A and B are shown apart, each in its own frame.
Chain A
Amino acid sequence: MESFDSNFLKQLEYLSLVSRRVFRGQLLAQRRTLQRGTGVEFADHRQYTPGDDFRYLDWNLYARHDELLLKRFQEEADLHVYLLLDCSRSMDFGQPNKFDYARRVTAALAYIALADLDRVSVVAFASNIVDVFPLARGKQRVLSLLKFLQSLRCRAERTDLERSIRSFVHRQQRLGLVILVSDLFDPGGFERGVDLLRHHGYEPHLVHLVAQQEAEPRLRGDVELEDLETGQTRRVTVTERHLRQYRQAFAEFLERVEAYCCRHGLGCTRTTTQVPFEELVLRMMRSAGAVR
């Protein structure tokens, strides 16, 4: 396992310990969810409607105010963490390779979640969902998770976030945290796919990966550009003016991602592959709150 060697596992253990120190005092595997259910912690009241369970009527309140109100409790459940990993061909680019970097980040986040006794699932997608690591719990599933990640390959397909996430949300599964690890190079726009997550009650968080060669391309003169996702080639003559315009367009794309996340209150972590993945994970834990 070249990508996940012993040093990598040591770093995962370190990240897990750091995450425990950070969130000390909280109950493991007992996260509050937005679902109202049969927990022991009172949440609020609501009007009684016929068919409700009489056991949850607040008789004391009925005696005082002559009004039938139903007590609601916050259900305590395990956190479900879904890691959506982009396996499109555009991820197989850059030095260091974006896909390798994405797998490491995914592995780190999954390891931390498993160590916290959360339920973790990894969903690989390109133009659609290509592979799924089902929900798992406990550190004993780490090795199988790593094997799954190592078996993944970049598909010669273009990114289609909307289609992939539509397939994801139509599955019968519990809501939870969705961490999208991708370069977001979707010609149709990344917003539609993330909107689906939001609208279906998931908590999306974007891990936006950018290769240095994408931000600062070093192309000059007559070249034949080859789109890795589509395989199309195109002869262009790149001048300094074109490079300036490219940098401006790329910067506008990054601003668009940030503005979207800010507008909808989503967590967003953008990084280049030059940054060590453990530093990225720590930064996410401390500032973005992706890992609680």
Chain B
Amino acid sequence: MQDFRKSYQSEMKKYPVSKALTRRALHRMKEEKEKRGRVKWIAVESIALVAVLSGGTVLAVQYNAFDEGPYRGHIPADQANISQVQENDELKVTMKGVAGDKWMAYLTFEVESPDGKPLMENSRYRRSNAARTAFQTATLNCEGENYTVTCLRIDDGSDPTRLTFEGSLFTHGKDLTGKKATLTLTNLKDDVTVWEDAGFQFDSLYELCEQAGLAGGDAFVRTGDFITYSDGTSAPSYMIKAGDKKIPFSSQFPNSYIDNVGIYEGGERLTSNGKRQVKWLYLSITPGNEEEAAALEKLTFQEIGSNRIMGEEQIQGTYPPGEKESSQDYQDKVAMQDGRVILGLSVHDETENGTATRDITENDLYRFRLVKNARSEEIIRKEGTWKFDFLMDFKTKERSVEVDQKVPVLDGEITVNHIYLSNFSLKISGIYSVDFMKKAPMKTEIIFQDGTEMDTGVKVGGGADLNTEKFEFEWMLPRGIDVDEVAAIRFFGTEFPLES
């Protein structure tokens, strides 16, 4: 039997870097080094929360710093077992809490702008990506060993002068409980989306659609599969046909025009609605000349007011092969485009469980406009080093049970041998004789003594070995728990009581 990793590596090595390419790159690097200049600091602009729309309507759009909602922390907000402040002229950092077990540790800290200047920006052409605000380095040193701390924002983004982070680190079984530790944070950095005005001549997409009129279903043609699911079903991919309209839309693209616009299905299937896909807006643009055609490819949608860029994923028909669709589908679409630029827009709502894609509506059209050249820029927002000495003030509580119980899964069964549970971690191991990893939905829940349940979420580690038929799966729990309050674990629908 061939080894997958070795086969892949050996095939890939048939395509080495040519000496000529190395030489060219070195030459250009040398030239670049000689002409390089320093990057200038970019001033923070004020946050715009209101957008003026057509007909004199003033629509207040909630500024949401997170495109997909903030990350949820593992430590309760009221848990503050540490209170240390480190401050320089640039930034005040307050360390607030630590929790963990012998596999994971979580730290919370708040950063505040001492002069009240925003730590994020949201202006006409720039917008901070809150989910990517982070420290350039975050390291925990404990007993001479350094652990990289991954920092994620857990505030809701509503106060640009005060941000809250949760740092997490893997201790890989090394019990740091009660040990002295030092957390060192350096340079607060920001990821800013930058874009340019596209000379869009309408207040929003609504006015454009109103003038153009929406095309009917016969203006769309199925081109292939947008995505094929593991159960063999697929979500179709569609293309809007070229229309006969000639609607100028941008002062920057005077020779280009919108030839067709319509709303039709697209994207992934809605799981809650069987096989139905959501409705997208499709926009077909005929470039006036080659120069405009190249620039039109950089058009993208922006939400008015929040300034959120909707991203490249909404551009349809210009996908590379393999990005959501097959190579053949891509080639077909390119042929069908015949030089047109096709844009697709889908919308989603943020819910407690994440984002929920839904049909685009007429009201949504008021929310969007076209901009161009959106790109990401990483900047150092505040320079400095902030250091905290503290105790890893938590205790690992754990429960471990040998069960040796068979569990029916699909048309076979698996045997669960061992369950380990701690404050923040769950591990289940055993033996399998059915390909459950591929076919069975793996839902694992913790059942508490008071009858409440907690979904453990997506497993994060472990795997199944095809040769030995042994499996071991690991989960990072979505929040810390008291293992003494756990009554049972439910795995593939079977409950495993945890005896004290």
Is B one of A's binding partners? no
